[in-house]
Amino acid sequence: MGLTDLTTWEKRQEYYTTIQLGKDVRTQTQVVSNATRTMLTAQAASTNAIIASQESIREGIEDLAYGIDEVREGIYGLKAAFEFGISEVVWQIEQNRAVLEDILEVLMAPLDTQSKELRKRAEKNYAKGYFEEALEDFLGSEKNNKYDFIVQISIGMIYLFHLVNREKALEHFEKAAKYARQESDYHASFALLYAALIKRDEDKIEDAERLTDEAVGLSLDFAEALYQNAQYNAQLKNSRKCISHLEKAIKIDRNYCLKADKDEMFNPVRHEVNALFERLRDEAVAKAEDGYKSIAPAIGKINEIVVQAGRVGGGIDKLNVNKFSAELSDVKKRLDRRNYFDGLDAQARLQEISDKCMKCVNAIESSYKKIIAKLHDESSSIINNKKRNLDDKVSRYKAIGFYLVGVPCFFSWILIAGTIKTGDGVFLLLLVLIPAIGGYIGLHLGKFIAEASFAETPHEVNELQKKKTTLEEQLRNLQRVSLP
């Protein structure tokens, strides 16, 4: 490599040749998104079987690729799809992120109209690929406001990737990192990655490691910073730190596995990297297997409960375990392939099945409660109707009892009274009391006969209550079933 040549890792790879400046940001975003599919296909062509099988790559390439929303986030969103060879286009996209809008307003505030126009012209020339004109305008803008880290990064990009003047590029990336700290930790980290890249070009790996470690410290979830720091630690044979940061990057974006598997910078610690892949695979598969062992019996139990409810009646639709059989078969197929990507995908699919099943269970619980309430209302209606009928019948039977017992007692007493010799007071008392007692006995005898005829609960009420009790028990059983 000559001093004025780009290194292999700074050049655009074949699968990214469609990515060029000169297009609007929306078009660039779509082009980059499409190119990530080509990149992933190339990386996965002969990937380590511990990481993924060709079947899992072929079936999940759309899930692995990066969508428009991710590409819009620049390096932060591209993650493992980022390469230094597409830096200029990625920087064009970065400048249109929402996170920069407020910052840009602050940076532009001190500028007069002429200075603002100069800066805007520089950005337009950069986007069109007119780098000499862009550099001239950016340098003019720097004089107007040296604290504008966005301008400093743009100058660094032109010096590094077009003039290949690493000394000048480093100067401006360092300024960008310094000034960005006051406004954006992420952009400070961004600039530090490029400063580290230049140190790598100069074979100053310890400096590159230090700069990327600083970038990680500023932006803990910046996956590309984690990955690059892992690269430099691999070169320094700091295996523990390398594996720690590589694992964190992989947990953010699994595609770093594909990238690291082919990355020669990890060769000094290749054994440890492969051991990491094996551990991640074993953990992912074990977790998925536990979920699989839990969910299938749970769905079967739910199905059994609902089938029983169907026998009772009420129109509850079955949650048939066969409804999820195809999805569970797909999970089993992935588990049998025993690789990291399939383990992760199996976990995700199990969660989807669990969510769908829970949605069904909630609907079934609602159906149970509605049917139980309906059975309660039906039985209450029958009992209330019976009570009204009983009240009517009691009134009739009490009247009949009074006439059949009370009235005869009265007349019988009149006939008998004539034969009894007693004082007038006693006679008058008995004249009132005996018919009253007879009438009272007649009323309660009529009520007793009426209630006795209605004492037995109607058969249909017994059947409804039996169904209700059964469904309530099954509902409790359903609520006790635990889905993973």
Residue ranges of domains in the chain, CATH in brackets: 8-262 (1.25.40.10), 275-374 (no CATH), 379-480 (no CATH)
Q: Can you tell me whether residue 182 is helix, strand or coil?
A: coil
Give the residue carrying structure tokens 């996209």: 93
b/e sequence 431-464, b meaning 16+ C-beta within 10 Å: eeebbeebbeebbebbbeebeeeeeeeeeebeeb
- Alpha-carbon gap, residue 149 to 172, rounded angstroms: 9
Which residues, 6+ apart, have CB-to-CB distance to 280 below 8 Å?
247, 250, 257, 340
Residues 6+ away with beta carbon under 8 Å from 180: 149, 187, 188, 190, 191
How far apart CA 260 and CA 274 sit, in angstroms, is: 10
Whole-angstrom distance, CA of residue 138 vs CA of residue 132: 10
Q: CA dihedral in degrees (23, 27, 31, 32; nearest 10)? A: 90
Amino acid 148: pLDDT? 92
Q: Give the pLDDT score at 398.
A: 47
Write the Ramachandran bin of 165: left for phi over 0, alpha for psi from -120 to 50, otherwise beta: beta
pLDDT of residue 1: 46
How far, in whole angstroms, is CA 312 from its chain's centroid?
Answer: 37
Whole-model pTM over 0.95: no
Q: Are 292 and 300 in contact (CB under 8 A)?
A: no
Among left, alpha and beta (phi > 0; psi -120 to 50; other), residue 24 is: beta
The DSSP string of 438-459 is: HHHHHHHHHHHHHHHHT-SPPH
Q: What does the pLDDT profile of the chain (484 residues) look like in tens digits?
A: 445 688 888 887 777 777 777 777 788 888 888 888 888 777 777 788 898 887 777 776 667 778 888 888 889 999 999 999 989 889 888 888 877 777 887 888 877 788 888 988 998 888 888 889 999 999 998 998 889 999 999 999 999 998 999 999 999 999 999 999 989 999 999 999 999 999 999 999 999 999 999 999 999 999 999 999 999 999 999 999 999 999 999 999 999 999 999 999 999 999 999 999 999 999 999 999 999 888 878 777 777 766 666 655 555 555 555 567 778 888 888 999 999 999 999 999 988 888 877 777 777 777 777 777 777 777 777 767 766 665 555 555 545 545 555 556 556 556 655 555 555 555 555 555 555 565 556 555 555 555 555 555 566 666 667 776 776 776 676 666 666 6
- Report how far apart, in Å, the C-alpha atoms of 155 and of each of 88, 132, 150, 226 are: 11, 11, 9, 25
Instruction: Provide CB contacts within 8 A for 356, sequence distance 6+.
Output: 324
Q: Which are the contacts of 152, defined by CB distance < 8 A and separation ≥ 6? A: 142, 146, 172, 173, 175, 176, 179, 191
Chain mean position to CA 344? 14
